[in-house]
Structure 1
Amino acid sequence: MADPVTFARKLRREQTLPERRFWALILSWRDAGLHWRRQAPIGPYVVDFVCRSRKLVVEIDGDTHYSDAGVAHDAQRTAYLEGRGHRVLRFTNADVMQRGEGAFAVLMEVFGEPGNES
């Protein structure tokens, strides 16, 4: 496998539809100056989205995350990220695609109104 930086570049070019939808959901915070990165390497992992200033990682999980192996891998990955001070939020593809307002509401709890981040 390629190094994490090269792998992250590939993932940014090949975003899934739910990832593109989430990127649009956070537009108001991005426009307000809250910096986000897509497919960013953190240690040995590449996270879907990270707001480094808030140490928040957001993962958009597809079906493969719900196998026994996927759950175990995600637990290890989350422990690694939390051990480095990050908070990890997970949304399913369906959360983002069919219940985007719910994902937006969760982010409002974390950041407050776009433009008034606490």
Structure 2
Amino acid sequence: MPHADISPQVRGNARRMRNAMTEAETKLWNELRAHRLMGLGFRRQVPIAGYIVDFACAAHRLIVEVDGSQHARPQSADYDRQRTRRLEADGWTILRFWNDDVLRDIDNVCEHIVRVIGKGAFE
């Protein structure tokens, strides 16, 4: 599948977001980076299809989003559904976790990611 063009503005926004991650994003990134989770390769704040996703594992077409309370608002939820439909149409699977889930139960978040990818039991 060919890569979509990424505007300089989106690329710059992604770069800024990498330097200003939330506490929950940082906690999850510490579990995902450097192939720490079952050898899976993740990138953070990745531009895909005109959106910037929190984490992406290209080998398994998996996107992991870490959402704050603003995503519970109706207009944000509508935007997220539209975004999810677009990314799924391109063959991506999207997992969403609330900040609180990541901060309080990182082990179960990681187990769920591994289960979805189908790597087997998490150790």
Structure 2 SS opposite 1:112: coil
| 1:88-99 matches, cutoff 5 A | 88-99=94-105
The number of residues matched between the two structures is 113
C-alpha displacement at 1:50, in angstroms? 0.2
2:4 counterpart residue number: none
Letter in 1 for 2:62: L
C-alpha displacement at 1:46, in angstroms? 0.1
C-alpha displacement at 1:34, in angstroms? 2.4
2:32 counterpart residue number: 26
Q: 1:103 aligns with which of 103, 109, 117?
A: 109
In the alignment, structure 2 segments of 5+ residues that lack a partner are 1-7
CA distance in 2, matches of 1:108, 1:57: 12
Structure 1 SS opposite 2:65: strand
Letter in 2 for 1:30: H
CA distance in 2, matches of 1:108, 1:80: 23
In the alignment, structure 1 segments of 5+ residues that lack a partner are none
Give per-residue Cα distances to partners, 1:46-68, cap 9 Å, x unaligned. Answer: 00000011100000000110000
Give per-residue Cα distances to partners, 1:82-105, cap 9 Å, x unaligned. Answer: 000000000000010011122022
Is the CA contact (8 Å cut-off) linking 2:67 and 2:99 kept in structure 1?
yes
Letter in 2 for 1:10: R
Residues 1:16 and 2:17 are matched in the alignment:
no
- Cα RMSD of the aligned pairs, angstroms, is 1.9
CA distance in 1, matches of 2:102, 2:120: 19
CA distance in 1, matches of 2:47, 2:104: 28
CA distance in 2, matches of 1:42, 1:4: 10
TM-score scaled to structure 2, two decimals? 0.83
Identity %: 35
TM-score scaled to structure 1, two decimals? 0.87
Residues 1:112 and 2:120 are matched in the alignment:
yes
